[in-house]
Chain A
Amino acid sequence: MAERLVVGIGNPDRGDDAVGRLVARALRGRVPADVRVVEQDGEATALLAELQSARNVWLIDAARSGAPAGTIRRIDCSVADAALPDGGVSSHGFGVAEAIGLARALGVLPGRCIVYAVEAAEFTVGAEPSQAVAVAVQEVVRRLLAEFPCHCEERSDAAIPSRLARQA
């Protein structure tokens, strides 16, 4: 089992829904060697398989909650009853929230499971991400890099910079 995994989720061809994938691509080559970075479309069963492959997982996905586009929320799903906003364009309405829910119900949720949810506004097929989301991509990358100390530590709030812990 891998130590650390980042999963960038979304459809690269539907505007802001690409946010997770854009973050994943921006992280490549910039993370410690033990951090695996993958992209996914967010289909729940495939994501569930990824969740079982690492002890510490960070997911980045588009969200639709009515907040201004580009708003970033960091949600610690290792905590019971962590509420996730509606996701982007998931298949059969069966996406990230369902994957995390299934992992929890089946007792296979990683010890640390963090979701970065980026508010999206534009889901048009073939559209570019909005400016607000493009800016948010850079910010999520910066925050994620701050979350990866050189050696993975046991889950504790001490592993998260205090500024991020406050935001969470």
Chain B
Amino acid sequence: MARKTINIDYLARVEGEGGVKIIFEDRKVRDVELRIFEPPRFFEAFLRGRAYTEAPDITARICGICPVAYQMSAVHAMEDALGVTVSEPVRELRRLLYCGEWIESHVLHMYMLHAPDFLGYAGAVEMAKDHGDVVRQGLELKKIGNEILELLGGRAIHPVNVRVGGFYRTPTRRELRPLAENLKRARDIALATVRFVAGFDFPDCERDYEFVSLGAAGEYPFNAGHVVSNKGLDIAPQQYEAHFEESHVKRSNALHSHLKGRPYLTGPIARYSLNSTLLSPAARDAAKEAGLGPTCNNPFRSIVVRAVEVLYACDEALRIIDAYQEPDRPHLDLTPRAGVGCACTEAPRGMLYHRYRLDDQGTIVEAKIVPPTSQNQPSIEDDLKHFAGDWLDMPEEALRVRCEQTVRNHDPCISCATHFLTLEVVRG
């Protein structure tokens, strides 16, 4: 019985500390273990006993790459608990903030972490020696994402201007104008990026995923809508825990998540496959030109979908800035009350779920956060189970790189995902 093991102790070019072990037997994949050994971070416990007003600033600290999704999920959940809805201009500004985060995060992943896989380099530094113009283009594009976050959020990482009920300060139309100029240039680069990544060689790997994302909101999803899937799921975020279940597996400090016992996938190709008709016309055209159909079942093409989403984010940001009307008040004045609030929003790497229970003073009694990487772990393992058997004839190093790339397809953010606490009780 021929047995072969590929052991990647430390995954490179992913956020956080994890590894992968793949065991082949008789030319088939017998087992895959995505191991996440980044230490747990206990954010849900940190939140207990804190005021509801503190949640945006605490949860933003969960991730340096996608702080907006964390703090925005928190504010939406708090507003759900308090029974309030923000004004349309505030909602639009929140979408603008998401545009900034998606541009920042997707561009970092595409250009610095994922493109080297397709172009045959160990990393972005090696790639930059031969493709300096490409790297410069990526840096310029990422910069506009940073600018949006700095203007709206107060700074590019861990924004401080977001609060439950709105913003501490909202920008004037005049303040947004320079962003629009830079976004027009970014839009051109984003289109060039779609064309650039569409030219990569993609392994012929498709799977019948159960895609899950926000949808049914009449807009490409950032922070509104139902939780939908391509297999018939259509629920309000408040029903999330009746359908999705987290469980602990020994190999991971991040909880695995299943939908009624089934693995599922969140993230760019899920969002795209469930909402591609809602992209801006230019993004839809670019996707078509890049060879994408209305859905995408090849995870290696996720880099193309990210590029399309960056183009959409530029278009959407320009639309929001053009239509922006300064709100009468930057935020609602809120009165705390006891209650439970839930929200799902779309982080760049997938859907994020928050639930909070507040007491009558607005103190957080219970918090639950389900990050996208936690949800995608079973599907990442299943990708390797499905695909890697066909790669056994590859040279050893190429096989290792291909397996790592298969994980990187989903841009896992391991640091975000690790919040599980193993509690061992020894009774004497």
Contact = CB atoms under 8 A, between A and B. Distances in A.
B330 interface: no
Nearest to B107: A45
B14 A92 contact: yes
A105 B64 contact: no
B101 to A, nearest CB: 14
B125 A45 contact: no
Contacts, number: 59
21 contacts: A44-B124, A45-B108, A46-B156, A46-B157, A48-B139, A92-B13, A92-B14, A92-B15, A92-B108, A92-B113, A93-B14, A94-B108, A98-B123, A98-B124, A101-B125, A102-B124, A102-B125, A102-B128, A102-B135, A106-B136, A107-B132
A79 interface: no
B139 to A, nearest CB: 6
B65 interface: yes
B12 interface: yes
Nearest to A44: B112
Contacts of A107: 132
Interface string B129-147: 1001001100100110010
B146 to A, nearest CB: 7
A156 B26 CA distance: 63
Interface in A34-85: 41, 43-46, 48-49
User: DSSP class of A's interface residues: helix, strand, loop or mixed?
Assistant: helix
Contacts of A43: 64, 157
A106 B146 contact: no
A135 interface: no
A46 B104 CA distance: 11
A135 to B, nearest CB: 26
A111 B132 CA distance: 19
Interface residues of A, number: 20
Contact of B112 (A45, A49, A125): A45
Contacts of A102: 124-125, 128, 135
Contacts of B136: 106
A91 B65 contact: yes
A105 B129 contact: yes
Contacts of B142: 45
A98 B194 CA distance: 25
A107 B125 CA distance: 12
Interface of B: 12-15, 39, 41-42, 61, 64-65, 108, 112-113, 123-125, 128-129, 132, 135-136, 139, 142-143, 146, 156-157
Identify which of B61, B125, B156 gathers the most chain A CB atoms within 10 Å of its CB: B125
Nearest to A11: B64
A2 B202 CA distance: 44
Interface of A: 13, 41, 43-46, 48-49, 91-94, 98, 101-102, 105-107, 124-125
Given A92-B14, A106-B132, A98 B125 contact: yes
Nearest to A105: B128
Given A43-B64, A49-B143, A94-B13, A105 B132 contact: yes
Given A43-B157, A102-B124, 11 more contacts: A44-B112, A46-B156, A49-B139, A91-B15, A92-B65, A92-B113, A94-B108, A101-B125, A105-B128, A106-B136, A107-B132
Nearest to B133: A106
A13 B60 CA distance: 14
A69 to B, nearest CB: 19
B151 to A, nearest CB: 16
A41 B64 contact: yes
Contacts of A106: 128, 132, 135-136
A107 B135 CA distance: 12
Contact of A125 (B39, B135, B143): B39
Contacts of B65: 91-92
Which 9 residue pairs are nearest across A and B when measured between Cβ atoms? A101-B125, A105-B128, A92-B15, A105-B129, A91-B64, A102-B128, A106-B132, A45-B142, A125-B41
A93 B108 CA distance: 12
A124 B146 CA distance: 29
Nearest to B43: A125
A94 B113 contact: yes
Contacts of B39: 124-125
Contacts of A41: 64, 157
A106 B140 CA distance: 13
Identify which of B112, B136, B142 gathers the most chain A CB atoms within 10 Å of its CB: B112
A138 B310 CA distance: 45
A32 to B, nearest CB: 27
A45 B157 CA distance: 12
A126 to B, nearest CB: 9
Contacts of B139: 45, 48-49
Contacts of A44: 112, 124
A87 to B, nearest CB: 14
A15 to B, nearest CB: 12
Identify which of A92, A101, A102, A105 gathers the most chain B CB atoms within 10 Å of its CB: A92
Identify which of A44, A98, A102, A125 gathers the most chain B CB atoms within 10 Å of its CB: A102
Contacts of B146: 46
A94 B135 CA distance: 14
A105 B128 CA distance: 6
A105 to B, nearest CB: 4
A125 to B, nearest CB: 6
Contacts of B41: 125
